[in-house]
Chain A
Amino acid sequence: MPREVILVDSQLGNLDSVEHALIQVGASVIVSSDPDRVATARMVVFPGQGSFGPTTRALVDGAMGAALRMVIERGDPFLGICLGMQLLFETSEESGGFDGLKVLPGRVRRFPSDMRAGDEPDAARLKIPHMGWSDVQPTGEHFYFAHSYYVETTDPSLVMWWCRYGSVEFPATIARGNVFGCQFHPEKSQWSGLRFLRSFILGGRA
């Protein structure tokens, strides 16, 4: 029987492609915006696009935030994607500062706007967002990223794979027990993304 996954719909972007990719790697997907349903899930995928703000504040402070924490504390496999991973951490430095779910230690920061593409004085300024395919270490695989913010964690042992953009080295994936997160979009990362999702679905690992 296929693994049943609750795909959390929290108004943080389009879910279709994540759903489609999960189905493609063999999951049975239930999309839900109901905290009660999420709280009883045996496996959760929590995607999000965009940034911390009023929408994430309502989520973190509300019933959905409580449901997500419950799944995580109970030990069921949990995967946060992009903003969904960032929300596992403590705070964001975005305008005014917003809280995350505070499951993991660290904060979310914006890429500095003055990074250069090389050491020469006339080297081009690096573009923000970090958008496109970057390799992760140590595997060397490529994934599709589209983000202006990244996680800075105080606990490097959380980090499974690293990615570098300009002078910033940031977590591409994190793992702690049953909790996983990826900064990239596995649903947009072709074979490498599908492999990543499949290993999560099959083993509750990444």
Chain B
Amino acid sequence: MLKRRVIPCLDIKNGRVVKGVHFANLRDTGDPVEAARAYDTQGADELCLLDITATTEGRDTFVDVVRRVAGQIFTPLTVGGGVRREADVRRLLGAGADKVAVNSAAVANPLLIRQLADRYGSQCIVVAVDVRQLKPLPGETDPLYEVVIHGGTRSTGLDALSWCEQAAALGAGEILLTSMDKDGTRDGYDLAITREVSRRVPIPVIASGGVGSLEHLRQGLDPKEGAADAALAASIFHFGLYTIAQAKHYLADHGIPVRPHEAPRGVLITG
């Protein structure tokens, strides 16, 4: 049986983890490699690295971070942020990423999704979709959601559901759906849009934006609530509020099928 995934996400700026990661036994809280190893050991099902650097030098640093992290973990690695063209995807996959997320560039040129999927296979291409709920007009009953780009600063006029369907039809392997209304609030995912997208598209959906508790993870993955295939979270894990293992236990206790946490048993020959 396929399990639901828990995916911690690290925001990287100029090669460092933004805000730091607060775990016991971590010597350098801003080092992405140490943080990635810690998550991997705790039983993360996958790891996500997002580059939030704006400069060209920062991009090169990020590729180096991806290479160093990929050399330390034995679980899937998804990377994104600032991916504009095929050359960026090639560089990141070459550095050891398993999946690359495209966002604004795919909105600007949807055929980029097909081009990337044909070239590298759908299983490596994630389309990241940032959405915001539109203020309902008088008489509108169902909430409408719009796609936003550039960190939520620019609206696109695209309907979120239609765009996700189009991305799937063009060959995306997964949708990483982030609610910009919820991001950073710790109020929980936007369950309504997550559920709608997940039911509508034939590919896996990763819920993102707003997690403040383990219950929020459960809601995102519950087939009757968010119905997502995977739950992404950043701050609840960064600040050491919960470990991945605690999240897995909570989900399992509440009826969400997850891969059980397995503590390391000395398989590694080298450090």
Contacts and interface: CB of A to CB of B under 8 A. Distances in A.
Interface of A: 13-14, 16-17, 20-21, 23-26, 49-51, 113, 117, 124-125, 127-135, 142, 144-148, 164-165, 185, 187-195, 198
A20 B204 contact: no
Interface in B186-236: 198-199, 202-204, 223, 227, 229-230
Given A14-B96, A17-B96, A117-B223, A190 B262 contact: yes
Interface stretch (B29-37, B48-56, B69-77, B79-87): B69-77
Interface stretch (B14-22, B145-153, B155-163, B263-271): B263-271
A189 B202 CA distance: 24
A142 B259 contact: yes
A56 B93 CA distance: 21
Interface of B: 1-5, 40, 43, 45, 70-71, 74-76, 93-94, 96, 98, 121-124, 173-174, 198-199, 202-204, 223, 227, 229-230, 259-260, 262, 264-265, 267-270
Contact of A132 (B5, B70, B94, B198): B5
Contacts of A21: 74
17 contacts: A16-B70, A16-B96, A24-B268, A49-B124, A125-B202, A127-B202, A127-B229, A129-B204, A131-B123, A131-B173, A134-B1, A134-B3, A185-B76, A189-B74, A190-B74, A191-B265, A194-B268
A113 B223 CA distance: 19
A188 B264 CA distance: 15
A190 B40 contact: yes
B185 to A, nearest CB: 27
For chain B, what secondary structure do more than half of its interface residues adopt (helix, strand, loop), or is it mixed?
loop
A133 B74 contact: no
Given A25-B267, A117-B223, A193 B74 contact: yes
A25 B269 contact: yes
For chain A, what secondary structure do more than half of its interface residues adopt (helix, strand, loop), or is it mixed?
mixed
A129 B123 contact: yes
Contact of A146 (B43, B93, B123, B199): B123
B261 to A, nearest CB: 10
Interface centre among B74, B204, B223, B230 (most CB of A within 10 A): B74
Give the 8 A-B CB pairs with smallest separation, nearest first.
A133-B259, A50-B121, A146-B123, A142-B259, A133-B3, A194-B267, A127-B204, A134-B2
Contact of B98 (A130, A188, A195): A188
Given A142-B259, A191-B265, 5 more contacts: A132-B3, A144-B76, A145-B2, A194-B267, A198-B267
B2 A142 contact: no
A130 B2 contact: yes
Contacts of A195: 267
A148 B173 CA distance: 10
A144 B269 CA distance: 22
Contacts of B70: 16-17, 20
Nearest to A186: B74
Nearest to A49: B121
A125 B227 CA distance: 11
A198 B269 CA distance: 11
A132 B174 CA distance: 11
B78 to A, nearest CB: 11
B269 A127 contact: no
A133 B123 contact: no
Contacts of B123: 49-50, 129, 131, 146-147
Contact of B74 (A26, A127, A188, A198): A188
Given A129-B203, A131-B174, A142-B260, A20 B71 contact: yes
A133 B5 contact: yes
A117 B228 CA distance: 13
B2 A113 contact: no
A24 B96 contact: no
B2 A132 contact: yes
A131 B43 CA distance: 17
A110 to B, nearest CB: 13
